[in-house]
Structure 1
Amino acid sequence: MSFFKYIKAVATGPKSNRDLTQEEIGEAIEQILENQCEPEQAAAFLMCLRVKLESDDELKGCYKAFDKYIKRVDIFESVELGFSYDGKTDQPFLFPLYGHILKKLFEQNSDVKPFDIVISGDFAQPAKKGLTLKHLVTSIKLSENIKYFDRSDYFEELSQLTDLRKKLFMRSIFNTVEKLLNPANSKYAITSAFHKPYVKKYFDLFGENYSKMVILKGSEGNPEVFSDFKYWEKIEGDIIEKSVSLADFGIEYSKEYENITIEENIEILNNPSVGIMQLAKLNAAILLFSTKRVASIEEGYCLLENI
């Protein structure tokens, strides 16, 4: 089937552009993933679709197309952390620290049911050139309760589009849909939304895949917090927003990096400051809350204070 009809739908101007149906966007995405169209056609389509702004049906259709290709395993009792694939520049990755903290908690407190942390990485994607999760994971040893999934293994078709996406060098529908691909069939998930309208989009797109899903306004669009933040959860169909202040936990932290390096991140993990350890415990508390182990982030933090 000609790919041109999909380009025409999104690239003929404001008066003639239209949203694609879930079936149409699914067909277009499958052709891109299987290299059944020219790279220039794929780039033009992704760029114009982004400029038009993707509809909810287009996002859902893209996710359904992805779902046909993803190779999953079952680690049901786990929480998936939906990191962005464009990396970090301002703050370090903290998950290796709170992985160790939670491991100690589970060893010392048999009343808390253990769970694994699921993370996914790939080569850097647009739109910024930050330190990637993949770069860090391949440079350190992870705690056994952190399960890393390389996208080149479980979703090779999308990973192989990295060069095309770098040439396009702008965000596309892929950046939104790839946030939570659930390679381990996790029961729980945490991701981040920078723009508030995406909170509802993420719940609509991913929510039904998890027993509980929490969305943070985290650092750099990632599910880790380093300052006061908001979070959202869905309760009986309603999206509930809450605000959290670091001061309420006695945490003072104001450090910000400029293009943090792998060496800096490893040094932080090997020799964490008091503030970094407090932040690691706060992020671990968010995981305890998101996996229904505690009723609130505050309760989770209290549980971890002496770990």
Structure 2
Amino acid sequence: MSEHAFAPYVRILGKGKTGSRSLDFEEAQEAFGMILRGEVEPVQLGAFLMLLRVKEESPEELAGFVSAVRAHIQRPSFQVDLDWASYAGKRRQHPWYLLAALTLAMAGYRVLMHGAAGHTAGRLYSEQALGALGHAPCENWADAEAALAQSNFAFVPLRSFCEPLQRIIDLRNLFGLRSPVNTLTRLINPVGARCSMQSIFHPAYADSHQRAAQLLGQENAVVFKGEAGEAERRPEADLKLHLLLNNNPTVEEWPRLLSGRQDKLDTLPLDHLKACWQGTATDTYGEQAVIGTLAIALRALGKTTKPDEAHRQANDLWQSRLGQRI
């Protein structure tokens, strides 16, 4: 029997402590292209993903994987201002980041959010919460273009533009672990937006995300540790922003917005989120999470260079949403 064409990539990662190494950009791109085209056996895919998980993927590997995904998907021709990755889901706090994204859209910024739901039990995902706020998922790029024309906002599920990645994410319950796909999806930026919002759960991944985005030629981007892994400011925590500004990396530290610790919620009633959006209910933590997230987005978009000014602009946008509909 001849060796399978994918075997060398598994061998590179799994040859032991002294013999193994990371894939370079071209190797990562070719290996993941094979995965997306269905040219890999299931046992090879499992070995490949878990070897990467143990080793932790390098920026060059991430960039190569994302490059393969971009070559695989049918990318639309329309443009957006902000790419917003949403793959983690919420468990103990409401998805306040959705209100930040919708506020930006109301202010005239074209926002494309993409994500995957259901891969981790007990979490509330963007797709479900957005439905309660009146935004149905877009099942294709034509639907997304229409939604953007109507409201400057569209949510596109991963399954709608890259089903092979969705299938791999759904393997989480078989592995008992997340795989590198949960990382690379945040970097896809399927429409090629000039600016990208990304969040991580583990702070150690921030440098890799920033470097991978730089390798991919991303003009502006921000990566930070968000609440539960979503791109949402944690008001009671100091913030470290890993920014790309005109493809140049920088790090900024912003002070916390609230003292103390917010209690973790047992349930996440969507009626409360909707009421806060409509201005018929208030939530101190939630409003600071929204305003703080808006400030991060405005900084990444290049609308200001100072945190205080970013928060002032964010607060103005949040207050001006009342009386409008999106």
The answer to whether the aligner puts 1:302 opposite 2:295 as a matched pair is no
1:130-141 aligned within 5 A:
130-141=123-134
Secondary structure of the structure 1 residue equivalent to 2:187: coil
Deviations 1:192-244 (A, max 9, x none): 23444422211221135443212222212221013222223245845222122
Separation in structure 1 between the aligned mates of residue 77 and residue 129 of structure 2, nearest angstrom = 24
TM-score (norm 1): 0.82
Change over 3 Å in CA distance of 1:290–1:167 after alignment to 2: same
Q: 5+ residue gaps in structure 2? A: 136-149, 321-326
Q: Determine the structure 2 residue equivalent to 1:76.
A: 79
Change over 3 Å in CA distance of 1:153–1:226 after alignment to 2: same
Deviations 1:142-181 (A, max 9, x none): 3923211121121122123344343123122212211121
Secondary structure of the structure 2 residue equivalent to 1:189: strand
Kept in 2, the 8 Å contact 1:75–1:186? The answer is no
Kept in 1, the 8 Å contact 2:292–2:311? The answer is yes
What is the CA distance between 1:20 and its match in structure 2?
2.4
Separation in structure 2 between the aligned mates of residue 298 and residue 93 of structure 1, nearest angstrom = 24
Secondary structure of the structure 1 residue equivalent to 2:88: coil
The answer to whether the aligner puts 1:267 opposite 2:272 as a matched pair is yes
Secondary structure of the structure 1 residue equivalent to 2:305: coil
Q: Determine the structure 1 residue equivalent to 2:175.
A: 168
Secondary structure of the structure 2 residue equivalent to 1:48: helix
Q: Determine the structure 2 residue equivalent to 1:109.
A: none
Change over 3 Å in CA distance of 1:294–1:167 after alignment to 2: same
Secondary structure of the structure 1 residue equivalent to 2:114: strand
Separation in structure 1 between the aligned mates of residue 219 and residue 63 of structure 2, nearest angstrom = 19
Q: Percent identity?
A: 23
The range that moved more, 158-167 or 47-56, is 158-167
Alpha carbon RMSD of aligned pairs, Å? 2.7
Kept in 2, the 8 Å contact 1:230–1:241? The answer is yes
1:142-161 aligned within 5 A:
142=135, 144-161=151-168
Q: Determine the structure 1 residue equivalent to 2:114.
A: 120
The answer to whether the aligner puts 1:219 opposite 2:251 as a matched pair is no
Q: Determine the structure 2 residue equivalent to 1:97.
A: 99
Separation in structure 2 between the aligned mates of residue 102 and residue 45 of structure 1, nearest angstrom = 39
Q: 5+ residue gaps in structure 1? A: 107-113
Separation in structure 2 between the aligned mates of residue 95 and residue 73 of structure 1, nearest angstrom = 25
Separation in structure 1 between the aligned mates of residue 164 and residue 205 of structure 2, nearest angstrom = 26
Kept in 2, the 8 Å contact 1:101–1:281? The answer is no
Q: Determine the structure 2 residue equivalent to 1:8.
A: 11
Separation in structure 1 between the aligned mates of residue 117 and residue 32 of structure 2, nearest angstrom = 20
Number of residues of Structure 1 aligned to a counterpart in Structure 2: 291
Structure 2 counterpart of 1:240, from 248, 251, 257: 251
Kept in 1, the 8 Å contact 2:245–2:300? The answer is no
Deviations 1:122-160 (A, max 9, x none): 23336x652222222344313923211121121122123
Larger RCO: Structure 1 or Structure 2 (Cα < 8 Å, ≥ 6 residues apart)? Answer: 1
Letter aligned with residue 254 of structure 2: S
Kept in 2, the 8 Å contact 1:43–1:164? The answer is no
Letter aligned with residue 215 of structure 1: V
Change over 3 Å in CA distance of 1:244–1:75 after alignment to 2: farther
The range that moved more, 138-147 or 176-185, is 138-147
Letter aligned with residue 134 of structure 2: K
Letter aligned with residue 285 of structure 1: A
Change over 3 Å in CA distance of 1:102–1:158 after alignment to 2: closer
Q: Determine the structure 1 residue equivalent to 2:30.
A: 27
Letter aligned with residue 298 of structure 2: L
TM-score (norm 2): 0.78
What is the CA distance between 1:88 and its match in structure 2?
1.5
Q: Determine the structure 2 residue equivalent to 1:111.
A: none
Secondary structure of the structure 2 residue equivalent to 1:161: helix
Separation in structure 1 between the aligned mates of residue 203 and residue 170 of structure 2, nearest angstrom = 30
Secondary structure of the structure 2 residue equivalent to 1:130: coil
The answer to whether the aligner puts 1:291 opposite 2:284 as a matched pair is no
